[in-house]
């Protein structure tokens, strides 16, 4: 099993550009989530999904879109990148009843 | 709003010393997890506690969930340089799998 995979590992965008961060898991987990990590702030939930076709907003959803068409994939779209979106982004998956999350290696995004 | 407060935020100790990290909240959690994160990687789950007063041991690490399920602690005995990393606590409310609330983290450095 590859676990949770994320691409790309690094990305530099100019303000106003759009892009999609990819996330895939091969553990057949129902739950998938996107977090951003900024210094001194831990991880903050952006969006999450409890199954294919079902998504919901987390703590900091503005400027991001998600969709979940399959159990395996949960892409995160930045519609119009802003410098405030410079961060490290982590995708996670888990089995709902245990709440335990398995994290990908992260995508380091810089917006100039 | 930081619903989970971790303390201390930074901790630098010598090999062989003991330490305790605290995770406090005014909210009741259904479960609380502890993760460890190394630079450039995603968080890795160490333990999940679900019952008030529960104590779990993982080699030199002891985790405790408060009786009221609002707080938790992580105690490391005889710390080693390999324990160096960012320790994160995360809480889950009710049946909201995939929706974790993270503390801001404790950066631990163990010097040989």
Q: Could you give the CA distance from residue B47 to residue B37 in angstroms, rounded to a whole number? A: 13
Q: Tell me what pLDDT residue A73 has.
A: 97
**Burial of residue A29, with CB atoms counted within 10 A of its CB: 0-12 exposed, 13-18 middle, 19 or more buried:** buried
Q: Taking the alpha carbons of B75, A32, A36, B83 in that order, is the dihedral positive or negative?
A: positive
Q: Tell me what pLDDT residue A53 has.
A: 94
**CB of A32 less than 8 A from some CB of B:** yes
The DSSP call for residue A73 is B
Q: What is the CA radius of gyration of chain B?
A: 13
pLDDT band (50, 70, 90) for residue B79 = very high
Q: Give B-chain residues touching A105 at CB under 8 angstroms.
A: 40-42
Please tell me whether the peptide bond between B65 and the residue prior to it is cis, using omega within 30 degrees of 0: no
In terms of DSSP bridges, do strands B55-58 and A10-13 run parallel, antiparallel, or are they unpaired?
unpaired
pLDDT band (50, 70, 90) for residue B30 = confident
pLDDT above 90 as % of chain B: 80
Q: Could you give the CA distance from residue A74 to residue A55 in angstroms, rounded to a whole number? A: 10
Q: Could you give the CA distance from residue A82 to residue A97 in angstroms, rounded to a whole number? A: 36
Q: How many residues does chain A have?
A: 112
For chain A, 112 residues long, the average pLDDT of each consecutive 10-residue run is: 92 97 95 92 90 92 96 96 97 81 95 96
Report whether pLDDT(B103) > 60: yes
Hey, of A40, A68, A99, which one would you mutate to test binding to chain B, going by the most B CBs within 10 A of its CB?
A99
Cα separation of the two ends of chain B: 37
Report whether pLDDT(B72) > 80: yes
Residue A16: phi and psi, rounded to 5, are 95, -20
Q: Give A-chain residues touching B97 at CB under 8 angstroms.
A: 30-31, 50, 94-99
What is the average pLDDT across B50-70?
Answer: 95
The DSSP call for residue A75 is -
How big is the CA angle at B30 (ends B28 and B35), to the nearest 5 degrees? 100
In contact, A47 and A55? CB cutoff 8 Å: yes
Measured between CA atoms, the residue of chain A closest to residue B31 is A99
């Amino acid at each position: 099993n590859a676990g949770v995979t994320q691409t790309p590992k690094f990305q530099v965008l100019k303000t106003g550009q759009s892009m999609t961060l990819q996330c895939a898991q091969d553990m057949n987990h129902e739950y998938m989530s996107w977090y951003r990590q900024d210094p001194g702030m831990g991880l903050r939930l952006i969006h999450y999904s409890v199954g294919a076709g079902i998504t919901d907003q987390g703590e900091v959803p503005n400027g991001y879109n998600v969709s979940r068409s399959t159990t395996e994939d949960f892409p995160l779209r930045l519609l119009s990148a802003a410098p405030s979106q410079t961060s490290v982004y982590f995708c996670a998956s888990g089995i709902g009843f245990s709440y335990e999350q398995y994290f990908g290696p992260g995508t380091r995004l810089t917006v100039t | 709003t930081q619903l989970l407060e971790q303390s201390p935020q930074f901790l630098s100790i010598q090999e062989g010393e003991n330490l305790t990290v605290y995770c406090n909240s005014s909210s009741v959690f259904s479960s609380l997890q502890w993760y460890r994160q190394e630079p450039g990687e995603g968080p890795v789950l160490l333990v999940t506690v679900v019952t008030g007063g529960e104590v779990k041991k993982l080699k030199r690490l002891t985790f405790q969930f408060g009786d009221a399920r609002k707080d938790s602690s992580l105690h490391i005995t005889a710390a080693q340089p390999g324990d160096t990393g960012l320790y994160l606590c995360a809480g889950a409310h009710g049946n909201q799998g995939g929706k974790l609330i993270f503390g801001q983290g404790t950066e631990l450095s163990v010097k040989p």
